[in-house]
Each structure stands twice: as C-alpha cells, then as structure tokens.
Structure 1
Amino acid sequence: MKRNKYIMLGVVLLVTLTMARNTEGGITAVFKQEEPMPTETGAKAGLLAPPFSLTGLDGKTYSVGGTKEKATFVSFWASWCDPCKQEAPELNKLAEKYKDKMDLYGVNVTSYDKLKDAKAFVDEYKLTFPIPLDEKGTVYALYNGMAFPTNVLIDSRGVIQEIVLGIMPEKELEKKIKKLIAN
C-alpha cells in the first residue's frame, strides 16, 4: 500500500514538472504546438516562399523553396548599392558562423547591375557564400523587391518568416537569424 502511494506521488511530481503556471493561475502545458503549414505561396511573412532556381557566379544552380534541412537567407543586392557595401562584410561573417544551420544566398539582381561590377564587388568584399544571378530580375520581382538590399528569412519548412528592406545593425540581424534557425 505504501509503495502505491510512492508511485502515485512520483507520477504527480512528474506531471507537475512538465506543467507551468500561467499568469492567471491556470495550468498551461510546456509543449510547443507546431504551427499549421501555409498552403499559399507569396512574398509575405507567413506564406510559402516562391520557389526559384538561379545559376551562380560559380556555375552551380541554387534553388529556394520547399522544405530543406536548413533555414535560408536570401539577400537581393546590386554592386552600386551603398547599404549593400556596408552589409557585405557582416553577411560574410554570419554566413560562415551559421553555415551548418542556414544557407545564405546573395542574389545579384543583374538586371539592375552589370555582371563585371558584380564580380568586382564579390572580389572586393571576399564573399564566400553563393552568388546566384537574377539576370532578368524575375526573382526580384517575384519577391516584390523594391529596395537594395532586400533580405528574406525563410525557415526550413520553406515559410517566409520575415522580409527586411535595407540594412540593420549586425546584432539585430543576428538576433533574427537565431530566431529563424530556432524554428
């Protein structure tokens, strides 16, 4: 009989440890519920990222869209863009730091740029992440691009979590990346 009391006490303790009290005094489970997958595609947070494939400066094909093992960060840029020049070294550091958890693609919108200038930019800033070329500007248009840089944060399920127009301080951008890869 005493043994049953100890077993029951252990079960109650275990259940209590897996529950937490909310601010109103009720009990809330600690388990995280998965958000339902969106079914709509579009260039907006909460929607599936529009899929695309582009050829990079290295001749390889890079694809975005659908479920992946890692999160994806897409930065649309042009070589003449001063904010892009400011952001390039930061993106290089972040791409290296999070390479195991996130793919970073620096999409050069070549329709607004010159290929030789894009290559010079990559050399000058010693960019180590893939540089796909959007030669006709169709992918930039697909993502409703309206400023350089335009950064798109896509989780591993292929859902856009955020679109950032322009640059932001490195620490703030890194905070957004940490949140992205935690999903």
Structure 2
Amino acid sequence: MKRNIYILLGVILLIGVALAQNADNGIAAVFKQEEPLPTETGPRAGLLAPGFSLKGMDGKTYTAGGAKEKAVFVSFWASWCEPCKEEAPALNTLAAKYKDKLDMYGVNVTPYDKLKDAKAFVEEYKLTFPILLDEDGAAYAKYNGVAFPTNVLIDKNGVIQEVILGILPEKELERKIKDVIN
C-alpha cells in the first residue's frame, strides 16, 4: 500500500515538473496576455515604426509604418556601399523565400547616391523586391540613418523589432526574419 502511494506521488511529481518546463509553450500560453502596443513612434526596437511613402523604381508607391498584413523588412542602401553589395544576394534570396509572410523594401538613399548608379546596382544584382527611392533622404532621417546598410525589421503591428547597422551572415539574418514573422 505504501509502495503504491510513493509511486503515485512520484508520477504526480514528474507530471508537475513536465508541466512546469513546458509552461511557456503549453497551458500557460493559453492564459498569457498580449502586451499592449506602444504608442510612441521612433527609430528603435519596441517603438512604432516611423511611417513613410516612397515611389519605387517600378513607378508604384509603397508605404511603411502602421499595421500590415505582413511583417516588413526595410533596407536603406547606396550603390557605392561595399557591404550593401555583399548583402544584396542574400536579401534577394530571403525576399523570395519569405514573400508570403514578409514585404521586403530596398530603399536607395538617393541624396547619397546617383540614380543611374542605383539602377545599375539593381540590374547587376537582379533584385526582385521593390526598390524605393528616398530622393530627399527624409525616410532615412526618420530612422536616424548613420550607416549603410541600415536594416529595419518591423512586425505586422508596425512595431520595430530590430534595427541592424551593417550586415549579418545570411543565416543569422534569416533567423531574425523568422522571429519577426512568427
């Protein structure tokens, strides 16, 4: 009889430990309250992304900022930027791979570049995602741009999840994208 009680207590203890270890992904997740959206707009993680509308090289107008159906990846770049050249193939690959869950925009900061050079860059790297022209540098300024590339990951709610100055290895960048779209 005593032996059965010890076995029963052991089983209950194991179940309790298993539930505690899985609380983040299991039952507790059902009761978890969503964090309220920020009310402040700014160029850093945790704030609402500053909005902008820019014309693309394809003639269409694109917007960032505010809630969207998909997460948004904004890459501010210039054609003379060596890290931008290095990163371009990875961005093309990731844009194609996650097109159903992520809108990727390449924003050429035109005051720091030449339009003909930007067009040559897009052609050379065969970029397939929308390339926007920040002709007066206002969008770049809203994100306190200080380096090329500056990449901004924005979730579906319009909240900046990360601002990345410079480039990352493709696998690390992909991991960050997956974190934002999931």
Shorter-chain TM-score category? 0.7 to 0.9
Correspondence for 1:6: none
Unaligned runs of 5+ in 2: 1-14
Correspondence for 2:114: 114
Correspondence for 1:20: 19
- Do the aligned residues in 2 keep the contact of 1:80 with 1:113 (CA within 8 Å)? yes
- Do the aligned residues in 2 keep the contact of 1:20 with 1:30 (CA within 8 Å)? no
How far off is 1:20 after superposition? 2.6
Correspondence for 2:29: 30
Unaligned runs of 5+ in 1: 1-15
Distance 1:107 1:147 in 2: 13
Cα offsets for 1:24-83 (capped at 9, x unmatched):
xxxx71334311100000001000000100000011000001110000000000000000
- Do the aligned residues in 2 keep the contact of 1:79 with 1:121 (CA within 8 Å)? yes
The letter for the 2-side match of 1:160 is: I
Distance 1:176 1:149 in 2: 16
Correspondence for 1:67: 67
The letter for the 2-side match of 1:58 is: D
**Once superposed, what is the RMSD of the aligned Cα atoms?**
1.9
The letter for the 1-side match of 2:179 is: K
Distance 1:116 1:110 in 2: 10
Distance 1:126 1:30 in 2: 43
How far off is 1:22 after superposition? 4.9
Correspondence for 2:123: 123
Q: How many residues align?
A: 163
Correspondence for 1:100: 100
Correspondence for 2:169: 169
Correspondence for 2:156: 156
How far off is 1:113 after superposition? 0.2
How far off is 1:123 after superposition? 0.2
How does the TM-score come out when normalised to structure 1?
A: 0.85
- Do the aligned residues in 2 keep the contact of 1:150 with 1:165 (CA within 8 Å)? yes
Correspondence for 2:181: 181
Correspondence for 1:139: 139
- Secondary structure class of the residue paired with 1:148: coil
- Secondary structure class of the residue paired with 2:95: helix
The letter for the 2-side match of 1:165 is: L
The letter for the 1-side match of 2:134 is: D
- Secondary structure class of the residue paired with 2:45: coil
- Secondary structure class of the residue paired with 2:19: strand
Q: Does 1:57 align with 2:43?
A: no
Distance 1:154 1:112 in 2: 24
Distance 2:33 2:169 in 1: 32
- Do the aligned residues in 2 keep the contact of 1:20 with 1:29 (CA within 8 Å)? no
The letter for the 2-side match of 1:29 is: A
